[in-house]
Amino acid sequence: MARRARPALDPPRFERGSSCGPAPGDSLGAMLATEATDLIRDLLAATASADGDVTAAIDGLGVERTARVLVEEVVFRARLGDTGVRAGEAVSVVLALAHRGRELATTVCVGPGGIEVRDGHTPGTAPPPAVIAQDLVEVARALYGPRELVTAATRAIRWPGHRFVVPSPDREVPPPFYYWVVQRVVQVLDRRGAADLGELAVRCGTDKWGALHQYTPHYERHFAPLREHRLTILEIGIGGYEDPRRGGTSLHMWKHFFPRALVHGIDIADKSPLDGPRLSTTVADQSKPEELLEFAERHGPFDIVIDDGSHVSSHVISTFHTLFPHLRPTGLYVIEDLHTAYWPEVFHGDDTDLGDPRFTVGFLKTLVDGLHHEEFLRPGARAPLPTDTQVIGLHLYPNVAVVEKGSNAAGSPVADMLRAARATRS
Ligand SMILES: C[S@@+](CC[C@H](N)C(=O)[O-])C[C@H]1O[C@@H](n2cnc3c(N)ncnc32)[C@H](O)[C@@H]1O
């Protein structure tokens, strides 16, 4: 199988505790990423409506396990790695989550070397940490429930003391650094201040915005209305090629952008070291439909599929045929890097017959015809496709296509009339 050459600008190596990537794994203790994701799936279900019994769900899932997952999620979303802490300024903040009269405390230490998460209060740190106390159930709802149900009725912030922030007569005191950290955590708990995709792309290090591609404004247009929904997202092509620890930058971007989504990545190479809560990777070759099918039957249906894999037209087209049926009835299917369809080098493309349906852009033209499948007057004008009644929109931008799924079977009274007139004449 033809493999894509490593691009000149490979995404930078992802560092633990960086501004975009996973929180330090030790906040999950011995929990596996899959266990954390399963727990989040249950929390997403329990918090989906105002009348869900979240207390009972947490009791069933385990209070400590739930608290660990929530803290990991807060640290991930808060992107504490880019608060600009300098050497000698490391600070700690305690998250104290209350459940049935118990307090589960976790100390989050932010330093120039990264983020460290420890169970309990950490005694003896200078300055002493600010404490953000809130009910566990309220935090679970704030992170995974619908945005309109987010409240902070039980939150209390215990500041270390005003002696750190009151200016003395002879010197001004800048806001202490922990203000930034507390503010970021509170922002997450309030579901405020989410970055746009362009900013996230740069922060996370994916090439979806920059010198290579400018996809994020198009994604913003199609994805922003879905941002707060419960979603299952699949991206083919995780990045980093053979190196299991490299890549995952766009998966992290999706995880940040869609706070209630479960994000799946498929790659021909093993990427399991990138697995984390809400983010799972699977080894599969998109040129082998049976591997995609097995995956889709296990993890689908999907709300969004993004094909950023081999970019070989035959793979792109067979992947579409395999996965489109596993897209939800109103899902979005994205194909990136359409230009490769014209490039014989590396991607086996072709620029001699631009309508050839064996290449991705020509194939998309068959979907354009399919949009109008009820309008053809001449019998046999085109062979029907299974997708004809299921594609309601095709959005084409430089190098990227967004295919919108929906019901396209409203009928065409005028075409019916013209067909009837033709039949009478003949
Ligand atoms: C361009 S990178 C993906 C970049 C990533 N989506 C991002 O935006 O950061 C392409 C990835 O596709 C993977 N790939 C290549 N051929 C594949 C195939 N046949 N099936 C699945 N993945 C493949 C490569 O290993 C590589 O990691």
34-58 pLDDT tens trace: 999 999 999 999 999 998 899 999 9
The one catalytic residue in 99, 213, 264, 311 is: 311
Q: Are strands 91-99 and 130-135 parallel, antiparallel or unpaired?
A: parallel
Q: Hey, which of 200, 268, 335, 347 would you mutate to test ligand 1's pocket, going by the most ligand atoms within 8 Å of its Cβ?
A: 268
CA 115 to each of CA 97, 148, 203: distance values in angstroms, whole numbers, following the listed order: 19, 31, 17
Residue nearest to atom 24 of ligand 1 (CA): 241
Q: What is the pLDDT of residue 27?
A: 65
| DSSP annotation string for 33-65 | HHHHHHHHHHHHHHTSSTT--HHHHHHHH-HHH
- pLDDT interval class at 253 (50, 70, 90): very high
Q: What is the mean pLDDT of the chain?
A: 90
pLDDT at residue 229, rounded to an integer: 97
Q: Is the pLDDT of residue 28 over 90?
A: no
Strand partners, 114: 111
Residue owning the nearest CA to atom 27 of ligand 1 = 239
pLDDT band at 382 (very low <50, low <70, confident <90, very high): very high
Residues 209-222 have a mean pLDDT of: 94
Question: Ligand 1: which of 204, 215, 241 to mutate, most ligand atoms within 8 Å of CB?
Answer: 241
Give residue 194's pLDDT band: very low, low, confident or very high (50, 70, 90).
confident
**What confidence tier does 11 reach under pLDDT thresholds 50, 70, 90?**
very low
Q: Tell me the per-residue pLDDT of 59-76, one tens digit each, with 9 for 90 and over.
A: 999 999 999 999 999 999
pLDDT band at 127 (very low <50, low <70, confident <90, very high): low
pLDDT at position 278, please? 98
311 catalytic per annotation: yes
* CB-based pocket (< 6 A), ligand 1: 3-4, 11, 206-208, 235-241, 247, 249-250, 266-269, 285-287, 308-310, 315
The letter for the amino acid at 403 is V
Instruction: Give the Cα-Cα-Cα angle 308, 341, 360 (nearest 5 degrees).
Output: 75
Which whole number is the average pLDDT over 120-147? 89
Region 250-272 average pLDDT? 97
Domains and CATH numbers, the chain: 31-189 (3.30.1050.30), 197-415 (3.40.50.150)
Would the pLDDT of 105 be above 80?
A: yes
Nearest ligand 1 atom to the CA of 309 is: 12
Distance 330 CA to ligand 1 centre (A): 26
The percentage of residues in the chain with a pLDDT greater than 70, rounded to a whole number, is 89
Question: For the packed helices 313-323 and 360-371, what is the interaxial angle rounded to 10 degrees?
Answer: 40
Confidence bin at 172 (pLDDT 50/70/90): low
> Ligand 1 centroid to 291 CA: how many Å?
15
Do 107 and 92 meet the contact criterion of CB atoms below 8 Å apart? yes
User: Per mean pLDDT, which range of 169-178, 292-301, 313-322, 392-401 is the poorest?
Assistant: 169-178
Query: Which pLDDT score is estimated for 272?
Result: 96
* Ligand 1 centroid distance, CA of 309 (Å): 4
Closest CA to 89 of 109, 73, 74: 109
Q: Which pLDDT band, with edges at 50, 70 and 90, does 388 fall under? A: very high
Average pLDDT over residues 169-195: 84
| Residue 16 Cα to ligand 1 middle (Å) | 21
Percentage, residues of the chain above pLDDT 90: 77
